[in-house]
Amino acid sequence: MLDKVSVVITCYNHEAYIEQCLRSVFNQTYSNIELIVFNDGSTDQSGHVIERLLKESPFAETSYFSQENRGIVAVRNEALTKITGDYLLFIDSDNYIDVQHIEILVHSLQKSNADIAYCQLWDFVHDRHVLRDDLDFKLEKELEGNLIDMSSLVRVSKVSNVRFDEQLDHKALEDYDFWLALILKNQAKPIFVKETKLNYRVLDNSRTERGNWDKYYDAYFYLLEKYHAIIPDEILKASQANIKLWLKSYLENNEKLTEANQKIQEKDSHISNFQKEVKTLKNLLSAKEEELNSFEKELDEKNRELEAIKNTRIYKFLQKLKGN
């Protein structure tokens, strides 16, 4: 019998995407799946969509939990108490997987005797990779920055008592911390699987979170302190490399910001000069309008004088003489 895979889908206000996510799980070639769906206090129609679709679930073990919003850390920790499978796969409700995705990941773990199977993220809107290209696992690279997305297949026996850190809820890197705990404390072996990709939806808030360096490094330094006693030398080297990367990025961003400010100042200067020119032209136009008005008044006066002359007896007499 096939090993059981517990698929946990977490949803918050993704009524537009949850159906694609769920149907991608329904259509898996791997059949022994336990499906658990959490609606974490969505305020849109996500709950109605989920309830409707779960009636079509092909899996005998299908569970649905709807609750007040508690945050992703609390939801995932609750999921860890409910799963009964041999393997675990978290999927965010705005993403989806290809039909052979789970089968490929399970086969990769069984063939390599590894514990965590992770893959590249595919931005299906812009047809490009989201993560770096060199994703083959090395501890040094993992300590410099997370290689493993949360939607990776993990052997449940390696999870043991590891939980998501509540200190990182609504912050950053809660998934990174989870993988570090499995790797450093429970000696879990990760493997990069290139034969499949996770279809990843890059939303506006995704871009914002990925570009929030202050939030990232607050969490990163918290993790350094948390794990420094386990592998201090590697952590130190990794932190130095990561800090250099951060400083490089910070300096590059600062340089770009300076260039942008200079361009803005130049544009402001051009706008100011243009406004001055416009003002000068308006003054000239106003003067010309006054001259034109004055000319029109003079013309009107001349016309009145001409009409007055035409009404005089001598003018009429002269006109009769011309007629003769």
Can you give the residue ranges of every domain in the chain?
Answer: 5-211, 231-324
pLDDT at 238: 67
Q: How far is CA 178 from CA 105, 200, 206, 214, in A?
A: 19, 20, 20, 21
Lowest mean pLDDT among 46-50, 230-234, 264-268: 230-234
Q: Which residues of 135-156 are buried (b: 16+ CB within 10 A; e: fewer)?
A: bebeeebbbbbbbbbbbbbbbb
Q: What is the pLDDT of residues 298-309, one digit of tens each?
A: 878 877 877 777
Give me the percent of the chain exceeding a pLDDT of 90: 57
Higher pLDDT, 66 or 262: 66
Among residues 80, 83, 54, 84, the alpha carbon closest in space to that of 66 is found at: 54
Residue 146 has pLDDT above 60, yes or no: yes
For residues 35 and 26, what is the distance between their CA atoms, to the nearest angstrom?
A: 9
pLDDT at 198: 97
CATH classification code of 5-211: 3.90.550.10
pLDDT at 280: 81
Residue 228 has pLDDT above 90, yes or no: no
pLDDT at 286: 82
Average pLDDT on 22-26 reads: 98
17: confidence class by pLDDT, cuts 50, 70, 90: very high
Q: What is the pLDDT of residues 162-208, one digit of tens each?
A: 999 999 988 889 999 999 999 999 999 999 999 999 999 988 654 44
Higher pLDDT, 83 or 243: 83
Mean pLDDT of the chain: 87
Average pLDDT on 92-105 reads: 97
Average pLDDT on 13-34 reads: 97
Higher pLDDT, 159 or 278: 159
Burial tier of 215 (Cβ tally within 10 Å: 0-12, 13-18, 19+)? middle
pLDDT at 207: 41
Residue 8 has pLDDT above 80, yes or no: yes
Burial tier of 118 (Cβ tally within 10 Å: 0-12, 13-18, 19+)? buried
pLDDT at 175: 95
Q: pTM surpassing 0.75?
A: no
The winner for highest mean pLDDT among 101-105, 258-262, 296-300 is 101-105
Give the 3-state secondary structure of 94-122: CCEECCCHHHHHHHHHHHHCCCEEEEEEE
